[in-house]
């Protein structure tokens, strides 16, 4: 296994460009661990609190699944402190293989990957307007990020970690709030391009402002902005959040793939 990636790895992910969109982005950045054979396996870990990504092809053999398990074990990733974003066949293998060693692994999140070739305006138009976050909104964005990550239960950081990310998001000009008629920032959403696609994420509505379609209107408008900028919008969702998935589908998002997180 090499500790670098190249154009061969980008080509491998083309068949899984929706489910492994984030992997394609992060493996070109700073990583704590990056391994690839450029043919059948990629392992990428940026560092805590983020998950380990392992890509394997759909036709991975049992020997290859075992190789992935042993590689994760060799690198100290099966210590109960790490989670993995992987395909379901590899997840099943990890869970059964760990059980043979007296350890318990389980799926914590079932994920859907969507794209949006043609955005559809929401049926319910919310009061207020989209607002591009500015530097003076940094602390409020930190609060949104903290609330968002506590609710979804993943990738949680301390305030300083959120602040670093918030400053970066604002600098891109791709971080947005929905501002209601009273001037309150009630929902958040951003997009992040990689290649010809853009991930829509950090979708969160303050609890006291929910059930007013703010998030649907904000996501729709951010989706339009990303599409007009030349990108194909996509997003990940928790497959078990039926209501939010239905909301995305109503504004034009189409299910393209499935993935899971185990730990």
By the 8 A CB rule, do 96 and 230 touch? Answer: no
The reply to whether 101 and 133 lie within a common domain is: no
Residue 13 resides in a domain: yes
Those residues of the chain that have pLDDT short of 70 are none
The reply to whether 24 and 95 lie within a common domain is: yes
Examine the domain organization and report whether 65 and 156 are in the same domain: no
Write out the residue range of the structural domain in which residue 16 sits. 7-105
Q: So what's the pLDDT on residue 149?
A: 87
Nearest to 51 by CA among 141, 152, 148, 166: 152
Q: For residue 255, which of 111, 119, 121 has the smallest C-alpha distance?
A: 111
Cα 70 from Cα 168, distance rounded (Å): 36
Q: What is the pLDDT of residues 215-228, one digit of tens each?
A: 999 999 999 999 99
Calculate helix-pair angle for 159-172, 138-152, nearest 10 degrees.
Answer: 120
Axis crossing angle, helix 214-228 with helix 242-250, rounded to the nearest 10: 50
Q: Quick one: pLDDT at residue 244?
A: 86
The β-bridge relationship of strands 33-36 and 42-45 is: antiparallel
pLDDT value of position 242: 86
Please write the tens of the pLDDT for every residue from 111-140: 999 999 999 999 999 999 999 999 999 999
Residues 36 and 76 in one domain: yes
């Amino acid at each position: 296994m090499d500790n670098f990636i190249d154009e061969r790895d980008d080509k491998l992910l083309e068949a899984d460009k929706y489910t492994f969109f984030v992997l394609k982005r992060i493996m070109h950045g700073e990583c704590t661990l990056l391994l690839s054979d450029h043919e059948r396996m990629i392992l990428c870990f940026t560092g805590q609190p983020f998950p380990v990504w392992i890509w394997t092809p759909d036709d991975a053999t049992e020997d290859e699944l075992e190789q992935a398990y042993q590689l994760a074990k060799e690198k100290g990733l099966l210590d109960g402190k790490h989670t993995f974003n992987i395909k379901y066949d590899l997840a099943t293998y990890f869970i059964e293989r760990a059980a043979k060693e007296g350890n318990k692994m389980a799926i914590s999140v079932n994920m859907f990957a969507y794209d949006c070739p043609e955005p559809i305006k929401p049926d319910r138009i919310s009061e207020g307007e989209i607002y591009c976050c500015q530097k003076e909104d940094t602390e409020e964005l930190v609060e949104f990020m903290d609330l968002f990550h506590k609710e979804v239960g993943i990738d949680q950081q301390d305030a300083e970690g959120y602040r670093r990310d918030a400053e970066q998001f604002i600098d891109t000009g791709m971080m947005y709030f929905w501002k209601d008629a009273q001037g309150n920032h009630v929902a958040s959403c951003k997009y992040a391009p990689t290649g010809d696609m853009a991930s829509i994420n950090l979708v969160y509505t303050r609890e006291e402002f929910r059930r007013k379609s703010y998030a649907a209107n904000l996501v729709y408008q951010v989706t339009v902005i990303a599409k007009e900028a030349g990108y194909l919008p996509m997003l990940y969702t928790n497959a078990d959040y039926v209501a939010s998935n239905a909301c995305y589908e109503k504004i034009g998002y189409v299910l393209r793939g499935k993935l899971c997180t185990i730990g």
